[in-house]
Every structure is written in structure tokens, then in C-alpha cells.
Structure 1
Amino acid sequence: MTLIAEGSWATDLILPIALLIAAGAVAAYTYTRRRRRTATRTTPHGGAPRAPRPDGLDARADAALVAADDAVRSGEEELPFATLQSGEEAVRPFAEAMAYARGELAAAFLLRQRLDEGVPEDEVSRRQAQEEIVARCEEAVRRLDADAPVPVAPTARAAHAVGAEATARDTAAADAVTADAAARQAAPADTAAPDAAFDAAVEATRLELDGRVTTAQATLAALRERYGESATWPVAYAPDAAGERLRFAAGALERGRVGHAENAIGQAARLVEAVERRALELAEAAGRLPGALVEAEQSRGEPALADVRRAVEAGRYDPLDALRRVTEGDPDLRGAPDLALLCARSAAGAADAHIATHRAAVGPRARTRLAEARRLLAGGGSVREVLRAGELAREAQGLAEQDVRVHGHTEGGGYGGPRHRGEAP
């Protein structure tokens, strides 16, 4: 079994959907829906615009971080559809904007992490850092919005959305789209066909995910029987939450709210992937633990790891946690870099799925800790840095869960503002 490639957990959402959706209809609908979301910044989980709160510069910086992080996540979800429709060359400006926005956001998150660590200490420098966070985040969002591509051949529904909601810089493109839609009004069957194909593809994806949710529930039950509670708690919520989102998607499709259905299905896919990935990670950790434990005991002496050995021999334990403790206890262990990466990436993947799924409720602290974990994992640093990344990722998930408990089940007051009635829970 191979270690999951770095960064793969950030793109899991696209794959289940892209395999089934008709490329032209999906790309056109996704593009124009992005333009509507640019103005409203909503998600099926309930995001209203994240306007800066009026309680100071620090709150403005936090709000800007959340808004920029959501914009980058949305862009990452939509770029593959753009490429399917128009090709790599046509979407190159947007791809470059994505790379630029990621860089600005990463720099802003690093500033926020340092501020949380008390650096710098003087008030003037801290204010300058907060102002830089706001500026970088606003620039990231501006660049994404400016380079968001216009669909080449939108459906009638998409053309209406673009024509109605285009900004001044899109006026010429919107006029062209509107003219194209008017020209095709004489053939209603042709204009309806792409929409019907897209709706059918969304429904097919929903049905396919229904089956995967059932499998994920069985997988989670088996993992609970075999391993300790802490082995499954990062994804324990996932199957039920995925089923909830698919039920919402079914209702949205019946009401013709395909955009909401697509978002809910995307969240369900990410949740199912989280369970599937966790099962693979636990199996790999369980397979690698015995050798690592024997080597560590020979190096440090058996009493030093007696508690880990007892946990393993008890029958129900957490392989990832045990492997982490062995690696923390002996960072010079042979294979320690790979073992530490397995544990840290698992923690980061679970945190990322939780934050993405509940993004309307999750605030800047959880996102900042995850960003710092990613930075350390991407840096190719020491085993101790990788272990620190895992610690930060676990902290990110804990903070995200706390945010969801406080904000995620109310009609308002979360980091994403009040939930729109009828949107996915």
C-alpha cells in the first residue's frame, strides 16, 4: 500500500462528479454559477457574504481570510470544468489567477499564524501585518473575479444568468451571450437539451453517491469494530452528513434548484472520500506499526513504549495515533520521515474535508492552522516539522468542530452569516 500523494486530498471533490457530468453543459453551468456566487458568496451549507465585521482591524483581517479561502476553494473546484469546456490554453489566465491567489492567501495565512504566535509584539507592527492580510486577501479575490472566464457556449439558463448579473467589465461578453440565447430561441428543443443533460447527470451522480454512502456507513462500522474510537472520530460524522446532503440535493432537483443540488452533491462526495481515505490510511498504519514499534523498542528500550505496546495488544487501538507516538518518541527511527508523513497527511486530509464541508461555519483560526500544516508538509523539512504539521492539522480539526458546534446549526451568526432557508444544512 502506498502513501497517499501530497495534496491529493485537496482535489478529491472533483473526481466523482467530473466522471459523470456532460462536459459542455457542466462547464457552462458551473462558469455562470460562479459569477452569481461572486456577488453573493453563498454555499449550500449556508454562506452569506462575509463582510468585514465592524469591530476592528483584526476582525476585518479574519473576515478577509475566510472570504479569500472560500474563493480559492471554489476556484479549485471549478477550474477542471473550465478546462473541459475550453481547453488549457483558453483557461490559462484563470489558472494563473488561481496560482497567484494561492500565493497571496498562503502569505496572508502565514502572517495570521505569526500574529497568533505573538509575532510581532509591538502594536504598530501588528497593525501593519493585519493591514497586509486584508490587502493580500482582497487582491486574491479581485484577481480571481477579474480573470474568471466567460462560457463559450452557455445553455439558455446560463445565458440568462450571465446577461442578468454581469458586471460592467463583462458587458460586452454578456451582450454576446444574450444575443446567442435569443438566436436559439427559435429551437427550444436544442436549448433545453443541454440543461436536461446536465440535470440528468447531476441526478446520476446523486444516485451513484447514494450507493457509496451505504458502503461508507458499512466501512465506518467495520473500522469501529476493529479500531479504537479515536481512529474513526475525525470522519465519524461523514456518512450521515453525506446522506443528509444527498436528501437535500434530491429535493433541490425536484424544485429545479440545480445549483444547490450540485453543491450539496459535491459536499457529499468529499465526505464519502474522507471515509474511504481514512480506511486506507488506517490499514497502512496498522501494517507499518509492528516493524516500527519493534525497532523503536530496540533503540530506546521496551519500557519507553510500553503503553503503545499495551494498546496494540489490547486489540482495539488507533494505528495512526500509535504510529505517531512511536515516531514522536524516536524521530531518528529508520523510515520515520515516511511514517510521520502518513500521520500528518491523514490529519490534514481529515481537517480539510471538515473545513470544506462546513465552510460557512468555520472561522479563520482553524483555516490558519491547516494552512500552516500544509506549508510545513510542502516544505520538505525535518521529521520534527512534519510531526508539528500533524499537530497543527489535528488542532485545525478541533477548532473547526468547535466552530460548527457554535455556529453551524443556527439561522445566523456564523462566520458565513445567516443561513438562507432552503439551503443545505
Structure 2
Amino acid sequence: MGFWGRRDRAEQQREDAADTELSRRARAALIAADERIRTTGDELAFASAELGDAATAELRVGLASVREHMTEAFQLHQLNHDHLPDTPEELRTRNARIVQLCEWAESVLDERTSALQAKIERIRRAPEILHRLRADIAALRERLPEARATLDRLAERYTPEALQRVRMTSGDAEQLLDFALQSAELSERRAAAGKPEDAMLALESATETVRRAGSILDGVDGFEIEALRTQTTLAEVVEDSRGDLVAARGERRTPEVEAAIARLEAELAETASSQRRDPFADLAVVSAANAALDAARERANRPVVPVEQVQHAVAAADHAIGVASGLIEGHRGWIGADARTRLAEARRLRGELAAMPTAEEARDEALRLARRISGLADDALRLAQRDIDSARPDDDDWGWGGGRPGPGGRGGGGGAGSILGPVIGGVILGGLLDDIFD
């Protein structure tokens, strides 16, 4: 009893310590959250002056929601200290809820103020950003003559369809740079007029426009490099294709191979027909024609299975199914699920084999399927024989009345019952069969 009493006191002391710590956390969290709300209110006022009401709307809504929910936290804390006595469980529940509400409030304010801080930092750095934008615009303008020369050179070498991958021209880039400069100047004017929202919008527009203009000019340079790489790859594929054509002409020429040769020759001739080409499209069509010839050659050079071999395999499969079916049908009462399943699968595949086409290219699959059917039928025969051997007594002479007791415990007729029961396959079972022979 003393041991259990000490144990209960130790447990109570641990619970009291945990409740005290939770109460302390609740008070500290309440103070921190309240201070954070006051600080955030001040930050919201400054941010509204710098960015405008629209940019700070999310923080304003979040702050209002936090204040509303923190009212509940203060009410719970008041209940903990009123004149009414509370149970430890009630205090524990209220303090846990206070901590939860305060942590949620801190999380909401962190999220909203961090998102707004980036905008505040950006508007404060607007003069620096505008200075850098003007420098970027000037640098991109210096690239315009080179981009025009590059496009003129590309137009002599590639088709309009190929040049569509550039998507936009140097003229488009120049227009974007003009618009970016106008947006930057507008941002300065709106900031001076005390309209921070308009100034920020114009600044963001200028920044995005400069980025797009730079990507256009980069795309012009990138297209020329990528086109040269594609031409190199195309030359390698063309050389490989010509070698494949030479090899194909010396091999077995099926109609499929003849068609593939004609297609590849036509694509090679078209590729070399003019100076202005689309290397990307040429590479795609020549590669596809080359792959088609490779596939046709592989099928043509594969040894053709003689039709007689397929016929013999099918006949063997039918014979195997017939033997297995005869044994299983004659001893159904003794045959288990494995043998029946093998036979059923063999018959199903035999139906698929009957529906297969008779063309040369289908003979390989037909031969494989016929051998699979034979294997399944042989398995069914083996499993059926196993089932019969395991069910038949060792001294069974398959006679009529060997003196062994039948299913009902009687002799004479029981021997006849033991042999005819499996043969009939369960149609007449147990005592009914014995009654017939009795």
C-alpha cells in the first residue's frame, strides 16, 4: 500500500508540474500575440502609406481575423482567473486552447507580413531597380543590330517554317524595349504624384517587358546554335540511312522492305532538294523512315517458320488436349482444381490460336502458342494422373467386389461403388450409390 501511495503522489506531482508549465505558456503566448497584433497594426499603417490600400488588403483582412479570434483567448484566460472554482481538467483545456489560438495568430501574421515585406522592399528600392532597368534596356538595344543580321542570315539558310521556332523577331524585341522604357518613366511619375500602387504596377510591367525582350534576343542566338547541331545530327542520320539502303538491297526483299526502301529514298531526295530547309523537320522524317526500314529488314531476315511445322504443332496440341480431356472426363470425381485449370487454359488458348491470321509473320506466334497449349495439356494430364493415383487404394484391382468395404462400410457392393463413384463424377454420391448396388 505504501508503494502504491508513493506512486500516486509522484504521478500527481508530474501532472501538477505539467499543468503549471502549460499555464505559464498560455500567459506568455497571450502577451506575445497581443504585442504582435499591436506591432502589425503599426506596420500596416506604414505599408498603406507606401503601397496603398489595395496592396495591403490581405494583411488588413488577416489582422482583423486575428483580433476576432484572440478575443476568445482573452475570454478563456479571464475564466481561469474569475471567482468560480475550476477543475484541473477545465484549466488544462482552456490553457491548451489559448496556446493554440496564439500560435495560429502568430502564423497568420507571419505569412501576411512576409508577403507584404517583399512589396515594401521593392517599392523602397524602386529608384535602384529603375536605374538597373534603364541599363538593361540600353544593353539590349545594342544587341538589336546583331540580332537583325542573324535573322537575315538565317532566312537565307532556313525555311519560314523553321524560323517560326524563333517565334518573335528583333522588331518585336525593339517594341518591347520601347514599352519598357515608357513603363519605367511612368513608374517614376506615379511615385512622385503619391500613387504608390500605380508606380508599383508600372515598375513590374517594365521589369517583365525587359525580361521578355531579352528572351527574344537569346532565342535568336539559341536558334542558330540549335539549328547547326540539328544539321550535324541530320548529316549523320543521312549517312547511316544510305548505308542501310545498300545493305537492304543485298538482303531478302519482301514487299514491306521494298516499300520502306522507296520511302527512305524519297525522304533523302527531298532533304537534298534545296538549299533552304527545315533541319528539324528533315531530321524527324528521315529518322522515322530509317527506323521503318530497320524494322522491315529485321522482319524479312527473320527465318520463316514452315507452315507444316505450325500444322504439326497444332495437331500435337489438339492431341494433348484430347488425351487430357479423356482422362479427366473419365475420372471427374478424383480430379482436383489444378488439372482442371490447366485443361481450361489450354482450351482457351486453342480458341485464340484458331482465330490467328495465317500470314507468314504470324507463324512464329502461332508456333509458340501451339507449344504452350501442348505444355498446358501435358500438365493437366500429369496432374490428373497424380490425383487419380493419390485417391485410388494401392490394392485396388479395378474389379467388381474385391471384398473391400464401400463408402457405407459394407463389403461386396462397396467395391463396385468405389470404382463407379469417380467415373460418374459425383452425379450419384455416397449412400445412394451403395443403395443401387445393394
TM-score range, shorter chain: under 0.3
Whose relative contact order is higher, 1 or 2, with alpha carbons under 8 Å and at least 6 apart?
1
> What's the TM-score, normalizing by structure 2?
0.21
Larger Rg: 2
Higher helix proportion: 2
> What's the TM-score, normalizing by structure 1?
0.22
